[in-house]
Chain A
Amino acid sequence: MIANSFLGKLPCEIVLPDDTRAQASAAQHVFDPADERRRFPRQRTRFDAALRYYNTFPALNRKEGMYRVMIRDLSRGGVGFLHGEEMFPGENARLVFPNGAERYLQVKRCRRMGPKCYVIGAEFDEPLQDLTEGRWR
């Protein structure tokens, strides 16, 4: 379990956009929920988690350490979250949930919502077993 105080101390570079519509879009759902190409259905959710870059592209010179990101949707196979930096397809990271569980992820897509607000869609290396509401918080 990660204490909320620990998560709260992690750097969070997200600046939610001023524009109300963009903010709503960023804060609510990330991608088209009707997208039937997905293997696992997504649940809309809202909690913070810790992210650490892992095996990323050398040209990006990513800083070491953990960042606080905002989880916005979750499925057994992947996650949508807000981050303050652009991430690139194929980039890897480790996500630590508030309950202490960890998953490696690979970025599939990234969309800019504001100057320091990117919606990242990523796939887990190993599916989550239980999506019960609150289980991952």
Chain B
Amino acid sequence: MLPPVGPSGGPREPMHIGTVDSFDSREPLSTVSTLGTNAGSEARVESIERLGFLPVAVDTITASIALPFDLFVRTDPRVAPVLFRERQLALEAGDFDRFGDQGISTLYIRVADHVAYRSFLLDTVLRDEGVSVGKRFRVLQVANRAVFQMAFSSRNADQLVGFAGEYGEELARLVSDESVAACELLDLMAHDYYTYTHVTNVSVLVLLIAGRMGMGASDEIVALARGAVLHDIGKRHIAPVLLNQERPLTRRQREAIQEHAKLGFLELCHRRDVSWDQLMMVYQHHERCDGQGYPVGLVADEIHPWARMCAVADVYDAMSSSRPYRPAIPLKEVWEVLEGDRGSQFDREVVKALRAVVSS
């Protein structure tokens, strides 16, 4: 058992807060859900959050750098996390060895410290060009997960729009980095279909498609990324139980889910910090070129070009990710759907661009 260590190095009393839950302390952060997605994981996250903590992966912490947050460890899932290292202190190489020995891959921070954790990650890893693209991308995902989770669960759209601004810019910067190969990013994508993962994947895919289609202006690329981060904002208003229902949806339930495009539009349409192009990604990303989409049933060029890119990225990620009611669909079948319907459901040029990106 790792002893909790205070600033002076002496042991501290474990902090038992709230009730015991069944959260597995070894669960890596990458498998922890964001709110409103997988019901089982959501319950676990809510449970640990009720205690006032968020899980963070050990490998996102850099050794020998003072931490701007308190760090907690949980070796027994029946008790709450206990303080391991106070803020302003650093983890040392020996600490990582001990984590490894004890099979601990997840540490905890206070929920209130999630912004400090994000800043720490961005400052220590993301800005460091000596760090591999893989690690930078993973850190970018990890650093933003908790902030997204908070923003997505907030009733106020301000947080999510603000988050989209920053996250979109970071994603755009990473994807536009000429040293980054598209296939590297594609390999690093998770496919668990948690809302945050989906939003990240769709944003990266949209950026890669846009790059392939010749969209070059950096302002436009950043705006596109921000729109992609926001594209499913309307799902905040749909009951998670409905989004994750395993049995077939009734007509009324399907209509309720389809409302998310309109609800997202309505939530953002009067904001000055969201452009019309971005709004169309929110409103039209379920439109189909053959007119069979929703909410309006627009066809081909009537659909905003950014929404057409978003539609292809959205379907590609949705099909290739596991869902509560089905496993991931093999890529071969995903392409059969996308290319089989090329020109009818999906924009031919966009599908071609995605194919080129994936094949590169």
Which A residues are closer than 8 A to B by beta carbons? 57, 59-60, 86, 88-90, 109-112, 118
Contact = CB atoms under 8 A, between A and B. Distances in A.
Contacts of B275: 59
A112 B291 contact: yes
Interface of B: 262, 265-266, 269-270, 275-276, 283, 291, 295-299, 302
A89 B283 CA distance: 10
Nearest to A57: B269
B296 A111 contact: yes
A54 B276 CA distance: 18
A110 B296 contact: yes
A86 B296 contact: yes
5 contacts: A57-B269, A59-B276, A86-B298, A90-B266, A112-B297
Contacts of A60: 276
B295 A109 contact: yes
A112 B298 contact: yes
Contacts of A110: 295-296
Contacts of B298: 86, 112
A90 B269 contact: yes
A88 B269 contact: yes
B265 A88 contact: yes
Interface centre among A57, A88, A90, A111 (most CB of B within 10 A): A88
A84 to B, nearest CB: 13
B251 to A, nearest CB: 10
A111 to B, nearest CB: 6
B304 to A, nearest CB: 11
Nearest to B259: A109
B265 A89 contact: yes
Contacts of A90: 265-266, 269-270
Contacts of A109: 262, 295
Contacts of B276: 57, 59-60
Nearest to A113: B297
7 nearest interchain CB pairs? Answer: A59-B276, A112-B297, A112-B296, A90-B269, A89-B262, A89-B266, A90-B266
Contacts of B262: 89, 109
Nearest to A59: B276
Nearest to A118: B296
Contacts of A118: 296
Contacts of B297: 111-112
Contacts of B265: 88-90
A89 to B, nearest CB: 5
A111 B266 CA distance: 16
A91 to B, nearest CB: 9
Contacts of B296: 86, 110-112, 118
A2 B281 CA distance: 41
A112 B297 CA distance: 5
B278 to A, nearest CB: 11
A57 B276 CA distance: 9
A110 B291 CA distance: 13
B163 to A, nearest CB: 23
Contacts of B270: 90
A125 B222 CA distance: 38
